[in-house]
Structure 1
């Protein structure tokens, strides 16, 4: 287990954070304190009327969205007791989320889930900044740690979103949206600790200049203990991370809005048999929006993102991403709304190779050009809408990719939406598909395939969303996905190579609902069923026989209870059942998290959170006997808002 060198070292972290909070509090004293009303529990009507942007790249009501979109509000996340974005995503019933170690997560939608960066069919954005590495086309979930208090919502759409968002939006898109600086004014301080989450602290201060410029700055740190093996011994992968950032929002006039924001982090992950893995990164994003009318606007955005990590005696990666894009929305006549745009991305990726693992060439500059257009056609006012769109991209590996989509939404009443969609999406090649080389692999050397091409899917979806009562909303969606050119691992007798030797089909349904039993008690959750078949194409001799491309449960249930009690108390539960995984075999499990909080004063809250409480420990991903298990854990937290 990894601890600070001395108790003085641990105390030093707390002294730094408390001192910073004390200094900031003097300047915050003149601000109006954040009241509990700022954290009020939304009524069901307000929840359903909230705006989502992920499905059509423009604000629209959740109730009218022609897709299986799930929205996790900042309040849902806070009340769950989640301590990271990955943990918060467990609340989305349409995602497969598994914790593989103290720091590694496997997260996907509609199947093909794999640990860490190997889950490659999900596009993830934070405030419009794409977070993935072209090395694996996956996400470093362990370093996506924006301050959870500042989250406005997380939008989750399963199914292809490539017509608007591009390659890798094959099985879903996640949009993580933080609050504007205007909504995070004053001082926020929290700290605590416990068993698995050993200690943590965060400080954020928001201020303003005049009536049209708002800003915030924040810092946070945590130390997490190791997970365990099946025999109870520690896996030796404790880790820590420190992160800080800022956001500035400026609106010189009603029709202009500017945003500038950025983050920086640094951390280390303990390795049982080697030196620590070291990670750090920085990003900065600028966005300008010009509003011409309620139906017309222009947005231009640019960002820089750097991620760096060193895994001793394995490899290190330094990735710099430069991205610029724009979109323009305008009406065409009285029945059409057009959104079009384009962008350019440059990824400078440099890998430090080792004797046992290499990417050849070690350095690549990968360019991505893209353009998109979508036409929303009103066929019957307030009742029937047709969405036609496509995205055209060019990448350095597979050239041009066309990703069209057709969506139809019928709203027979203001409380019902029936929708259907047909879409095509691609997962473009990553460096592990083309450039990977392991000379000492057993029994043969392993190499990327120089002819590896994009994986494709054609998806068919249908869904229904209804609010049968003021206190109840329901959503159901069914899907059928037809995949081609799925990654395989083939051999020619001398080398094992990555090729496109597999096909696959998946089908299933996603059900979700929200029920406000009383003004003080709300339930939300859902059930997902998914079946997947993977088989070899003629001529393929995939050495894994199609078993390596994802490990997914057929059944999954998520249920969250949010309960407000008298005297300022809150009691919340979040339970989940996950069916068994087939290959490698992982038993199904049920567990739940619990949170008990007390709002002692207007500004002060105490909370006690227990996670994975059902069993002493349980596995969620990986092959026995080396897989790690997630232990029951408990931590306390104190929160001040001024």
Structure 2
């Protein structure tokens, strides 16, 4: 049935692409007039002031200006992504100075905020248009399976720091919210082809149109194939891979008060691994309905279904996860000084992890998980347009630890239109995942005299208390700066510890510690045709064993202390563009228990030269240009890449 569905949707997309010339002509006549309106396809050349006035929604679940947000947040715009030459979501996330992004091999990425950067990074909540994409198997993200048409991304909002009060489980050290464009903003044709050295090829076709005056839609198909990385001996790894995907979005605006949206995606791919290929396929469908009661009150309901199947480790585990999720939120003004947001949700997950060997796996093989949540937040205008206090909390119930509470308090002082001082105290939790409780090596019972590893039946949530202080200023029309300092205290952190008098190891909550640092970011536009953005992050972490426990740093991560990211966007005469993204990452310390060696500091940069005229864009992109290959995590070497790209928009 699923194969038939994939073939049907793919054939529908290709059929529509085949009819593009007729459709374009019809749209040009009926929608655009004599000439197509290309304004929705041109990169918006926003000034620094306009960029600071972008409305974001991830901090308070309602639109608010970036310049006034009481949180450490970065926004990556569509222009930032396109001008960087990024070919995937992880590459686009490199543009944020408040994220730690490391490429592990050709298909695997390790992404975190404020530390704990490892292959099981599990303290970061990631959403695509509100759909949560982390796996309950290990509470992390399969980044190879998270793909969108980058041309259709409106912006990416990245919060470093806890967001559990509104978003719940996993929003411990950060939140990534990937927001795609509405269908009405992607009318017409977009097609691109890229061919290169490490990026073997990438082909994208998308068409958007209208049905009547209230319905807008888009359909797309995309394929990408990547070549392998190198091992520590500079020999090719067995990790080259490909990904195919197709999907659609349909937006219906019945009237000003009601909006309905549906989107669905299909993905399937194969990764060449040793001893054999690892394959996956993924389907998701999401519907959103919003109703505006007045300019002071609105309601939104969202529901989605998500299915992921993957043979994650060949000959070891076949895992299928089905997720059913529904959320409701209501925003209203209780009075002139109280702006309320409340909501609730339910998530039903069925995880079928079939162990194909007795050596390693999950016991029981099938788990049905339920997650209930409710939240309430009140923004109080103590002095209108000057002092704001935001109080809120989220109450969750999960199958492992039952009830969890995640309160927060945020204070913002706006002494003028160009400055915001803010402070926050928050509590967040990382609820247990299956790898914490159900993991077994081997999967059958053994006596204490025989070495084995088992999940912790009494494993509890990892906990964070975070203290933050920030300042944001637009110094003038050319410069804006943001500074955020933080101090995090962690308790009940994950550990794997030997049991006294036995050869058994069990997963426990045996560690605690703290993390601290600051994040500096800014925008500078010295001339109308040249803009600079970037930042610097300093991070320190101190993890120790709790009294009565044996220290184990396996999953605490190896984090760089210093990180610098800079992006230059330059428009040249004769429709040329020249863009550079540079980064410096300090060395990662040795983690003995995780068998991870030192990773040396490295500096690298990407460059893009493009020519854009009317419908056509030609570009040549170099990635990781500074070195033929380099290590970002463990021992695999990421190679230099060059590719050429042709894009058409009309």
Task: Please give the range of the TM-score, normalised by the shorter of the 2 chains.
Answer: over 0.9
Inter-partner Cα distance in structure 2 for 1:386 and 1:548:
36
Shift of 1:40: 2.6
Inter-partner Cα distance in structure 2 for 1:283 and 1:459:
34
Shift of 1:19: 8.8
Shift of 1:548: 3.5
Out of 158, 161, 165, which is 2:160 matched to? 158
Inter-partner Cα distance in structure 2 for 1:241 and 1:234:
20
Q: Give the conservation status (yes or no) of the 8 Å contact 2:263–2:287.
A: yes
The corresponding residue for 2:617 is 605
Out of 158, 174, 178, which is 2:176 matched to? 174
Instruction: Give the paired residue count.
Output: 618
The corresponding residue for 2:603 is 590
Give SS of 2:136's match: coil
Inter-partner Cα distance in structure 1 for 2:143 and 2:107:
8
* Per-residue deviation, residues 74-94 of structure 1 (Å, max 9, x unmatched): 110110000011110000000
Q: CA distance change for structure 1 residues 17 and 371 in 2, over 3 Å: closer, same or farther?
A: closer
Q: Give runs of aligned pairs for residues 358-397 of structure 1, distance below 5 A.
A: 358-397=361-400
The corresponding residue for 1:210 is 212
* Per-residue deviation, residues 372-404 of structure 1 (Å, max 9, x unmatched): 000000000110100000000000001000000
Q: CA distance change for structure 1 residues 119 and 196 in 2, over 3 Å: closer, same or farther?
A: same
Shift of 1:22: 4.8
The corresponding residue for 1:456 is 463
Q: Give runs of aligned pairs for residues 494-573 of structure 1, distance below 5 A.
A: 494-542=503-551, 544=552, 546-573=553-580
Q: Give the conservation status (yes or no) of the 8 Å contact 1:189–1:641.
A: yes
Give SS of 1:412's match: strand
Inter-partner Cα distance in structure 2 for 1:635 and 1:34:
30
Inter-partner Cα distance in structure 2 for 1:449 and 1:561:
48
Q: Give the conservation status (yes or no) of the 8 Å contact 1:534–1:547.
A: no
Out of 73, 94, 104, which is 1:90 matched to? 94
Inter-partner Cα distance in structure 2 for 1:128 and 1:193:
32
Inter-partner Cα distance in structure 2 for 1:552 and 1:153:
27
Inter-partner Cα distance in structure 2 for 1:608 and 1:20:
29
Q: Give runs of aligned pairs for residues 396-407 of structure 1, distance below 5 A.
A: 396-407=399-410
Q: Give runs of aligned pairs for residues 46-445 of structure 1, distance below 5 A.
A: 46-115=50-119, 118-271=120-273, 273-310=274-311, 311-353=313-355, 354-439=357-442, 444-445=451-452
Inter-partner Cα distance in structure 1 for 2:605 and 2:293:
48
The corresponding residue for 1:4 is none
The corresponding residue for 1:12 is none
Q: Give the conservation status (yes or no) of the 8 Å contact 2:495–2:554.
A: no
Structure 2: unaligned runs, 5 residues or longer: 1-11, 591-595
Q: CA distance change for structure 1 residues 19 and 590 in 2, over 3 Å: closer, same or farther?
A: farther
Inter-partner Cα distance in structure 1 for 2:166 and 2:223:
35
Inter-partner Cα distance in structure 2 for 1:329 and 1:245:
31
The corresponding residue for 1:5 is none
Q: CA distance change for structure 1 residues 46 and 144 in 2, over 3 Å: closer, same or farther?
A: same
Inter-partner Cα distance in structure 1 for 2:643 and 2:372:
46
Inter-partner Cα distance in structure 2 for 1:43 and 1:550:
38
* Per-residue deviation, residues 106-143 of structure 1 (Å, max 9, x unmatched): 1000000112xx10000000000000110000001111
Inter-partner Cα distance in structure 2 for 1:279 and 1:371:
33
Inter-partner Cα distance in structure 1 for 2:526 and 2:394:
43
Shift of 1:147: 0.5
Inter-partner Cα distance in structure 2 for 1:98 and 1:499:
27
Q: Give the conservation status (yes or no) of the 8 Å contact 2:494–2:555.
A: no
Shift of 1:231: 2.5
The corresponding residue for 1:7 is none
The corresponding residue for 1:470 is 477
Structure 1: unaligned runs, 5 residues or longer: 1-15
- 1:633 to 2:646 alignment: no
Q: Give the conservation status (yes or no) of the 8 Å contact 2:450–2:504.
A: no
Inter-partner Cα distance in structure 1 for 2:452 and 2:47:
59
The corresponding residue for 1:578 is 585
The corresponding residue for 1:28 is 24
Q: CA distance change for structure 1 residues 357 and 606 in 2, over 3 Å: closer, same or farther?
A: same
TM (norm. structure 1) is 0.94
Shift of 1:35: 2.6
Shift of 1:443: 8.6
Inter-partner Cα distance in structure 2 for 1:34 and 1:196:
36
Could you say what the CA RMSD is over the residues aligned between the two structures, in angstroms?
1.7
Q: Give the conservation status (yes or no) of the 8 Å contact 1:339–1:375.
A: yes
Inter-partner Cα distance in structure 1 for 2:554 and 2:521:
30
Shift of 1:430: 0.4
Shift of 1:17: 10
Inter-partner Cα distance in structure 2 for 1:318 and 1:123:
21
